[in-house]
Amino acid sequence: MTDWANDPELVATFRAEVEERLASLCAGLLRLEAHPSPRQLVAGLFRDAHTVKGSARMLGLDVVVDVAHHSEDVLGAIKEGRFAVRKDLVDLLLVAADSISRSLPGSERPVAAGDLDAVVAALKAALAGTDPVVVPRLSAPAEEEQADGPRSSGESIRVPTRRVHDLLDVVGEAELDMRRVTGHGRELASLAQEHLRWARSLRRATGPGQQELPETVADGVHGLIALVDQLVAATRQLQARSEDAQSRLAAVRVDAMGLAMVPVRRVVAAFPQLVREMCGRAEDKDVELVLSGEDVELDTRVLDAVADSLRHLVTNAVDHGCETRAERVAAGKPARATLSVSARAAGSTVVIEVRDDGRGVDEDAVRAVAMETGMLGADSTLSGPALLQLMFAAGFSTRTEVTQTSGRGIGLDVVRTVIGDLSGTIEVASEPGVGTCFTITLPVTLGVLRCLIARVGSERYALPVGGVLETLSLTGAARHEVGGVPVLVREGRTIPLVDLGPALGVTGEQNPRAVVVVQYAGIGELLGLAVDDLEGELELVVKELGGFVGRLPTVAGATIGPDGAVVLVLDVRELAVRQLAAGPVPAVAPAPRRGDRASEVPAGGSGRARVLVVEDSVGVRELQRVILEGAGYHVTTAVDGLDGAAKLAGDPVDLVLSDVEMPGMDGFSLTRTIRRTRGWEDVPVVIMTSRGDPADQRAGLDAGASAYLLKSEFDQAELIDTVRRLVGR
């Protein structure tokens, strides 16, 4: 096991993180008494204290863990309304924060051990109901004389990471400027060549055998030609120098980025002690931690931001996932559980996995908690990946008791939020009795993006490759129209297709020949972007547009291309959401058949039948909306079953079209709810899903569905005919 406690860099890292959280905690406590919504503020303070506790545990400071844990309890009581915000409680929590700060390694004002005991006793007294509580005073640290004399020099110096990132910003600006210079150099070289061509033409016109020119004119022509030769040579030298300078700047950028890169070891080195201490507190639990890929490097901003999330996952794996020795032996497993944390580089990203061979996620327990908290209906049958996603909801916990490591509902929601803010992704896979694996994908750095360059007309745009799933030729792609909406069909899936030029307001002649399939908003949400051409991948230094231009819709930043032109970096997620939310222009509605009641109602009139579409996929939801509106129906949409039930309560409809697998309340539960609710019991429900097993179809019909359609056999005419048959118009 790495002796991280003797590594000054690691200790400094942990200390800096704890100090930052403590500063946030103290600032919030000082605002608490005068805050108009103290409970809202306490939620943030609660998380600060929770993070401090986790870091203190890694530092092996057991007494500090007790202080942080009981501080959490006091904040929890205030958040729940059991305690009012009192001055003595705020003072006590401030003293607790100060005692933690002074207990960290390297503190210039170390606290006495007895003072920590006094703080813990005061916190316990406050929790027991003492009002007011006596706030202990920390003893002043003993003054220590420092020996005079010169300090020893070393081979390294400590530089704040802020300065390193400021340097990266300056290098990035210089590199963009150098690209502009290189572009101007190419233009100058082109002009010099043109100038040379005309000068040579002039020399031929004034050479031997031609009309003799005055001496001054002839001297001028010869001088001009000599100057042109010098200009051409100078431009070539300028080009060579600028290319050399650009290469050197690129090397400086790489080296500067290296200053900001730190190995994953910086975070995971403390995990062995964390696991060991957790096993020591647990009854009959033995876990072996296996670390790999510790030398893989990340930008310090990325790694520091995700460090607490990784600790949450390791803690959850030991606390929730790994069984006791007796349970493992009874299940035919080795008595000792295995928990692995691995990292590997994957292009411009780093993939980190936290995997255990424990009991796996108890889907019944997750479903029960979701039902209890209202996230699922009482009859929900949601399972698999869709159910596991509920674990990332804020406050979700399957533990009923509060311990030092779990049960407070803090953890996976924070993990997802932090990783999302870093433009990363997290996936979870679990198998009962086999184990659970969390897979995190993160960008190596935040300052440089690897992008795919796409051309639309005369403009070039950059698409971050992290969101690009595949590229393909538009000529050979299987294209269709569904309700007037152009779509691609890939491996049985229907993908909405958007022409990037009109979407961005690009004018001029365009000829889309390629498609970039991008993933946004989560697994399975795909959109095809039609572009004129693809010009390869580049690593780009991305800069914000600045205060003068401000934030532009669908634009994440800008850079300078190899030709010196400005290239906008697109925000794929925002672009997709804007396009699908706006919805394409629907096709002309088909002529009503004779006898249809819809033919008796003017378009847009209040007599149109109302359909509620319940679907968690943005793309599918919008396609269904366009199809039904094109057929003359008034359509309302909902993002899941709970949202659908709420929409029904506020505005009754003539028919419900619902998916099955959705977060919150699934389609079967929504159907049962409709059938049991007075006033809704006769509303037709059409299930449209990818679950085609006979058992699933029986379950849907047993729940009360009026029709069961499969997405894999999707037919626009069949959908419209089914709705018309059930609604009667």
* DSSP annotation of 398: S
pLDDT at 657: 94
Higher pLDDT, 209 or 450: 450
Pairing between strand 610-614 and 425-431? unpaired
pLDDT band at 641 (very low <50, low <70, confident <90, very high): confident
Q: Mean pLDDT, to the nearest integer, of 385-411?
A: 60
pTM over the 0.85 mark: no
The Cα–Cα gap between 158 and 334 comes to: 46
pLDDT at 158: 57
Q: Mean pLDDT, to the nearest integer, of 5-25?
A: 69
pLDDT at 151: 41
* Chosen domain end from 395, 426, 443: 443
The Cα–Cα gap between 120 and 110 comes to: 17
pLDDT band at 54 (very low <50, low <70, confident <90, very high): confident
Instruction: List Cα–Cα distances, 478 to 472, 493, 497, in angstroms.
Output: 11, 11, 11
Would you say residue 513 lies in a domain?
Answer: yes
Rounded to 5 degrees, what are φ and ψ at 330? -65, -30
pLDDT band at 251 (very low <50, low <70, confident <90, very high): confident
Structure confidence by residue, pLDDT tens digits, 434-448: 999 999 988 887 767
Question: What CATH number should be reported for the domain holding residue 122?
Answer: 1.20.120.160
Q: Are residues 258 and 269 in the same domain?
A: no
* DSSP annotation of 128: T
The Cα–Cα gap between 227 and 233 comes to: 10
Domain range for 70: 4-127
Pairing between strand 287-292 and 337-346? parallel
Would you say residue 153 lies in a domain?
Answer: no
Asked if residue 611 has pLDDT above 90, the reply is yes
Is residue 52 a contact partner of residue 69, using CB atoms and an 8 Å limit?
Answer: no
- Omega of the bond prior to 132 within 30 degrees of 0, cis? yes
Q: Mean pLDDT, to the nearest integer, of 378-404?
A: 67
Q: Are residues 200 and 280 in the same domain?
A: no
Q: Are residues 47 and 73 in the same domain?
A: yes
Is residue 424 a contact partner of residue 442, using CB atoms and an 8 Å limit?
Answer: yes
Beta partners for residue 657, in sequence order: 613, 686
Q: Are residues 415 and 455 in the same domain?
A: no
Q: How many domains does the chain have?
A: 5
Burial 655-693 (b: 16+ CB within 10 A, else e): bbbbbbbbbbbbbbbbbbbbeeeeebeebbbbbbbebee
Considering the chain, what percentage of its residues have pLDDT values greater than 70? 79
Q: Are residues 107 and 60 in the same domain?
A: yes
pLDDT band at 207 (very low <50, low <70, confident <90, very high): low
Instruction: List Cα–Cα distances, 702 to 30, 659, 668, in angstroms.
Output: 58, 16, 9
Can you tell me which residue has the tokens 């996952």?
A: 313
pLDDT band at 386 (very low <50, low <70, confident <90, very high): low
State the amino acid at position 455 in one-letter form. Answer: R
Question: What CATH number should be reported for the domain holding residue 399?
Answer: 3.30.565.10
Instruction: List Cα–Cα distances, 667 to 340, 362, 440, 705, 710, in angstroms.
Output: 37, 22, 30, 10, 14
- Across 311-320, 550-559, 631-640, 674-683, least confident range: 550-559
Can you tell me which residue has the tokens 């184990």?
A: 435
The Cα–Cα gap between 3 and 13 comes to: 15
Question: What CATH number should be reported for the domain holding residue 479?
Answer: 2.40.50.180
Q: Mean pLDDT, to the nearest integer, of 118-136?
A: 88
Two tokens, residue 538: 């580049």
Is residue 453 a contact partner of residue 461, using CB atoms and an 8 Å limit?
Answer: yes
Helix, strand or coil, per DSSP, at residue 356:
strand
